[in-house]
Amino acid sequence: MRTRRPDGGWRIGVIGGSGLYALGMLDDVQTIEVGSPFGQPSGPVTLGRIGDVSFAFLPRHGAGHRISPEAVNYRANIDVLKRCGVTDLLAISAIGSLREELAPGSFVAVDQFIDRTHARPQSFFGEGLVAHVSLADPVCARLSAIAADAAVTAGAVVHRGGCYLAMQGPQFSTRAESRMYRQWGADVIGMTALPEARLAREAELPYALLGMVTDYDSWREGDHVEVSDVLAVMHGNAALARATVAGLAAALPQVRDASPFDRALDGAIMTAPEQRDRQLMAKLDAIAGRVLT
């Protein structure tokens, strides 16, 4: 017989992207500073509840959007959310469209990624403690479906499935790049989902990404991306994003059944116990303590 907590075992982490710097509808709100051995996260974590579901919110770019995409400390962000007891992680991000049918103002529940970033730490692991996790299916289908349903209920136009091209930034694409990414099979483009999704998998956190389309990137003749256009769409969709989070809380099953991603590190550690770096093991107490003890 399964035991049942008041929140059903769920604690949803929400990472807010451009234009979403607070949720604003949480009860029992508490904002806390959480330290990480991987450095400074983007800011304090806001804890609270919607109904019976616990939430932990972190704005990816910090208060006032002070952190550029390539400078976000993705490892610290994931680490502090894990330390806050998060069980599942929903990222809400601004994205550009590489397909005519994915119009600005619509939402995309992303399910695949192509990585074009560089010089960003890609893993919690490394020399002295080597691990390889599967990333064939980088998104949690369960969480993604519930989030997409909640967005539809909130009134959004939602496209289910799409390949996200993660570019380095902070500049937007050239026309040649944008057209090449279309040929590769990418559907949308952004600057922050990687290494975020990789690190979430190493932290054994089921991850979903709901992207809000702000523009058509630069592949269409005459079109190009302007920050003012991105912000206008994001501000217009911020209420929809918050309503989606509230709808997600209402739609979650009363009891959280186990996800296969809860045990993503099973069998992933390659380094023999006697060869493991003790300092790195200590840093990974929240991320990998389950398999390192």
Helix 141-154 and helix 227-251: axis angle, to 10°? 110
Encoded amino acid at 127, one letter: E
The set of residues, in sequence order, having a beta carbon less than 8 Å from that of 90 and lying 6+ positions away, is: 12, 13, 14, 15, 143, 147, 207, 208, 209, 210, 245, 248
Residue 217 annotated as catalytic? yes
Handedness of CA 29, 201, 213, 251 (dihedral sign): negative
Cα separation of the two ends of the chain? 27
Angstrom distance (rounded) from CA 251 to CA 10: 12
Residue 215 annotated as catalytic? yes
Residue tagged active-site, from 149, 215, 262, 277? 215
Structure tokens at 9: 């075992």
Residue tagged active-site, from 7, 79, 115, 217? 217
Strand partners, 212: 94, 107
Handedness of CA 207, 74, 227, 165 (dihedral sign): negative
Angstrom distance (rounded) from CA 48 to CA 267: 34
Q: What angle do CA 238, 72, 226 make, to 5 degrees?
A: 50
Classify strands 88-97 and 112-116 as parallel, antiparallel or unpaired.
unpaired
CA nearest 166: which of 179, 181, 180, 176?
181
Q: Which residues are catalytic?
A: 215, 217
